A = this chain, B = another copy of it.
Amino acid sequence: MQETLNYIQENKQRYIDELFELLKIASISADPAYKNEVLKCAEMCAQHLKNAGADAVEVCQTKGYPIVYGEKILDKNLPTVLVYGHYDVQPPDPLELWKKPPFEPYIEKTEIHPDGAIFARGSADDKGQFFMHIKAFEAMMKTNTLPCNVKFIIEGEEEVGSVSLGDFVNENKEKLSCDCILISDTGLYSKDQPTVTTGLRGLSYMEVEVEGPGRDLHSGLYGGAVPNPIHVLSRMIAQLIDENGRIAIDGFYDNVLELSAEERAEMAKLKDDQEEFKKSISLKGVEGEEGFTTLERTSIRPTLDCNGIWGGYTGEGAKTVIPSKAFAKISMRLVPYQTPDEITEKFTKYFEKIAPDNVKIKVTPHHGGMPYVLPSDTKEFVAAKKAMETAFGKEVLPYRSGGSIPITAMFEQVLGAKSVLMGFGLDSDAIHSPNEHYGLFNFYKGIESIPLFFENYAKM
């Protein structure tokens, strides 16, 4: 193992240089204008896999963006780890809030990252993280220490709901057969408290539309006499969450797994500093479901958020218009045993129920995803916990995260394998926000932890 870690140490600077090239590609899957960039990024991933020593590398076509595949099969009798990552990124807007352009990576020290952090869209989510696996694999190959088989799939549609991945996995069950799936697309609980993610929330995401008058109207001539769709939508949004912070949709909590007092006490061991939390995001005060802590609200409880709203005149100056339509994007984070289909249906029914008679409404579901739990008595969890304890020199705790990686449930169903979520980001990395970054410390700790995981897992 020491030889592998030495190799990593000697090649640190090159790893960063190579990652920068990957971060320069604006692989924004949500915006069709960036199609060529997304495709270019897939090609570069394939080249990196080849260079690292993978066989059978292929840019596999799908109905959407391609999935990059590669493998190293040492012996069919050895266990096989399937590494998953995604090379697509979130849109970078609002652009004006970035200190430097989002696709021109640079390193800067921050309070929380005294060794420096890489600033760029995708640095933490997920280019910087899946790239650790390619580099750890390279180190194991070059030092002849790979202890088991490995397969890679790196997709380009994670940020738009992994629309083609399900079909791909179903059509390639044999090729992707494995004993476990290893994913770095989550974070540590904090820099001082390394964790393995044992739970993820699911997702149900919709776009809603409220139509008042059939065309835009002059607010002087019509104001006061017609339903203004912005007001109606605002009133409807106000009715989605009640005064106790509970989601008001009928039956929303029916299938929620309620944690026992013991489980909640175990969770409470994780340091949950309210003042630090507020300071880290410049917040005056928290809010959420009554009876739960901030940590619980963001992990074991389902939530509802408007992710966008628009309607009427939003340009400079003043326009006295009553718009015909107003729109919002609304998403819900789900916990076991809610399902996206169930919640999408309940949301739609409720939204129809609370709509006044004098408007027309439309609900369009976007992608959804199942929630996921990895029990802490599985060998996947234990191998990851031990690997990180060696790398960090600290106790590693299980942690249920608030984010969603809906594919973990699909992997389990189709491939019959558990996913182990060994992520190295921090909540403060500003993923999905301007000035996304990923600590150099985290990047290197990740690359060190991966060969340790392989070693532990191959022995179990």
Contacts and interface: CB of A to CB of B under 8 A. Distances in A.
Interface stretch (A141-149, A297-305, A437-445): A297-305
Contacts of A237: 230-231, 234-235
20 contacts: A30-B315, A30-B318, A31-B315, A94-B216, A219-B303, A221-B402, A221-B427, A224-B402, A225-B297, A226-B286, A227-B285, A233-B309, A234-B306, A235-B238, A283-B358, A307-B322, A308-B319, A309-B312, A310-B314, A320-B432
Contact of A281 (B32, B217, B317, B403): B217
Interface in A353-369: 356-360, 366-367
A228 interface: yes
A226 B287 CA distance: 5
A311 to B, nearest CB: 5
A294 interface: yes
Contact of A309 (B212, B216, B305, B311): B311
Contact of A160 (B93, B303, B317, B403): B317
Given A283-B213, A322-B307, A32 B226 contact: no
Given A220-B401, A307-B321, A314-B327, 12 more contacts: A30-B318, A93-B313, A215-B435, A219-B333, A221-B401, A222-B281, A224-B303, A225-B297, A230-B309, A305-B322, A306-B311, A314-B329
A403 B287 contact: no
A215 B282 CA distance: 8
Contacts of A227: 283, 285-287
Nearest to A214: B282
Interface of A: 29-32, 90-91, 93-94, 97, 159-161, 187, 201, 203, 205, 212-228, 230-231, 233-235, 237-238, 240-241, 277, 281-289, 294, 297-298, 301-323, 326-329, 331, 333, 356-360, 366-367, 401-404, 427, 430-435
